[in-house]
Amino acid sequence: MIRFFWKLFFFNERCRLLQLSMLMLFVELTLIRWTAANIAFLSFYANFVLLASFLGMGVGFLRSTSARNSFHFSPMLLALVIFIVYQFSYTYKPRLNPLTDDLSYFATLFKDNLFPVHLSLPIVFIAVSIVMLTLAEGVARSFQKFAPLQAYRLEISGSLLGVLLFSLLSFLHATPLWWGVVMSVLFIALLSSEWRAHKLLAWLQVLSLVCMMIPLVKQSTAPDYLWSAYYKIQVQSYSHGRSVINVNGLPQQFIESVAQRKKYKPFYFYPYQHLAAPHDLDRVLVVGAGTGGDVAIALALGAKHVDAVEIDPMLYQLGKQLNPDRPYFDLRVSMYTGDGRAFLQQQHYLYDMIIFALPDSLMILPGQASLRLENYLFTLEGIKQVREHLKQNGVFTMYNYYRHKWIVDRYANTIMTVFGQAPCLNSGGERNLWLSVLTVSASPTAMQCNSPWQAVTEMSTTPSTDNHPFLYLKDKTISGDYIYFFLFVVLITLGAIKWVGGAGRAMTNHGDLFFMGAAFLLLETKSVTHFALLFGSTWLVNALVFFGVLFSIYIAIEVANRYTLLRPLFLYSLLLASLLLSWAVSDDFLLTLSLPLRFLSSIVLAFTPILVANLIFADRFRHASHSTDAFAANVLGAVLGGLLEYVSFITGYRSLLVLVAVLYTIAVIVLQWRSRVNTDLTIFSTK
């Protein structure tokens, strides 16, 4: 593979396609991060930018035969999108409640946002689609100069480089400035050869790149902004030396001393008040340790040792710098950077107290999967792991701000199901239920409680599970807001295909590739959630999964290129068998395995169907008479797959494998029908 990449730089056309593909993937990842960091409510629409990107790429490939090359306008349009998103950005401003001298939290949330959801969502979706259209058209015009499999190999190689580069920048906590630098360098390398012949266009392109950098630089150089691999982080000061930490524009946590927390937020101390005396705290676990406030309280109240788990290393660093009690410098504290559920799965310590300290990420897994970073912590299986890590008299507590009573009931019911008794509930009362503390122990003598949670039987309080980890979904249904979103995406997609005219009709010759694209997007989504559960919902796990998917595609291309006698019917049978195996082996079983064995097993179960699916696609793609139309059909199919992903709201993630099998079966049926009316399709020959 290294030899292949080395040879690329000696061939201009190959190098150009590689650079174009790298740019397209890098811009897609940049837009996903940039929009999530600046438009808070996008966290409710998990794959919003991803679907817009697929739509743009598909239409861009469809119109690659048109007379005018829209790729030349990519810098101008990209600069416009980045500016639009910057204008839509929301930043919480600290406001003090004059009665309590504390922050006014939910009451003013989104008050300063001048752009309503129903306006900004369509604008951003269309804008992202148009940008990706122009980039994809540039890729497609270079794509069609090669044989289908050769072009596909170059496109995937460029995408691999894009993922690696963006992941490296994430690892280094690079600011958006560096995203802009990478995109500008790639644009200049691709466009500069035409600048002498088109001087006016050249000036517009250079000016656009400069304009694109302005909002990126502005947020990168602001003194109170930091960028981790997860968030845009902002530190703001307010009264009495306290600070509020905003992530992606919303307040997530506060930096203040133990004394200040006791005065302004006494709920942090409620769990300790329920402990039956005497109760030694030899070892305490804090999940969601953040900037160290909960750790400092545990130490102040007698904990002899605290294990602190925080998923974002930058929040930990801020705690070291700014927390007035300096808990992370205490020798009694052991710090672990990573996912809380993964920590529980990998460690075997027993604790006197386990604290889930407001682990509300306010963030989805990047790109796809309607899953927040903390979802697997609060499932039925996750709480069972908590109980397994408690001593006989150990106590578990969790607290957060909730805007609906049914969410509190769901958590309480989950705890009661696992511990066998109702947790103690402390809240602000009927008019202030968004502040709740739940505390429980398996031992009746370990706690004293005067306010146990009252059990309910409503369906909305049914515990979430690892298969259906949607904590904030009241019922197993798809809400009306999502239905409107689906209709919008479908209408825009149909309108875009109709706009490209004849190329759209040509795409109907590749209906099987369309359904393959839908199935593969679901397969990729299942892999992301699968690895998030088994190894943690971290950015690194997510990046490695995407890299693994692209690398599997590359391997499939190489195999298909060298072995031309692959039998599609055999491959389809192998795919269905691998899907059945992945469905049959439960995540519960994999979680019982040792870490090395779990890793190897999950690789086989997740990537075998991905590899086989790509062998099928590569073998079919080799026979495509119009490679750009075929590729467009496959990418547009991913839009359908992205919409079908929301079926998991009703059925859970495991059922996506069944849906994948159905879609690939439809692809086989469509291909068989097309082969009867088109003698050029000889893919099912048994030679």
Residues 537 and 376: beta-carbon distance below 8 Å: yes
Do residues 401 and 105 touch, judged by C-beta distance below 8 A? yes
464's tokens? 């979430």
Q: Do 109 and 250 touch, CB atoms closer than 8 A?
A: yes
pLDDT at 407: 86
pLDDT tens column, 170-201: 999 999 999 999 999 999 999 988 888 888 88
pTM, full prediction? 0.90
CA dihedral of 547, 552, 555, 561, whole degrees rounded to 10? -120
Sign of CA dihedral 624, 629, 634, 635: positive
Three-state DSSP string of 95-150: CEECCCCEECCHHHCCCCCCCCHHHHHHHHHHHHHHHHHHHHHHHHHHHCCCCHHH
- Rounded Cα distance between 525 and 310, Å, is 25
- Phi first, then psi: give them for residue 254, nearest 5 degrees: -125, 145
Tell me the backbone φ, ψ of residue 227, rounded to 5 degrees. -125, 115
Taking the C-alpha atoms of residue 28 and residue 102, their distance in angstroms, rounded to an integer, is 40
Nearest to 159 by CA among 599, 557, 625, 621: 557
Handedness of CA 537, 219, 234, 334 (dihedral sign): positive
364-367, long-range: CB within 8 Å, 24+ apart, which pairs? 364/36, 364/43, 364/46, 365/46, 365/528, 365/529, 365/532, 365/537, 365/542, 366/29, 366/32, 366/33, 366/36, 366/539, 366/542, 367/29, 367/32, 367/47, 367/49, 367/50, 367/542, 367/546
Residue 132's nearest CA partner among 496, 491, 506 is 496
Say how far apart CA 9 and CA 673 lie, in whole Å: 42
Domains by residue range for the chain, with CATH: 2-223+475-677 (1.20.1250), 232-360+380-461 (3.40.50.150)
For position 580, what pLDDT does the model report?
95
The one-character DSSP state at 323 is -
Weakly modelled stretches of the chain, pLDDT under 70: 1-11, 91-117, 361-370, 428-434, 455-460, 501-507, 564-566, 675-687
> CB neighbours of 104 closer than 8 A, spacing ≥ 6?
95, 96, 97
Instruction: Name residues whose C-beta falls within 8 Å of residue 553's C-beta, 6 or more positions apart in sequence.
Output: 156, 610, 614
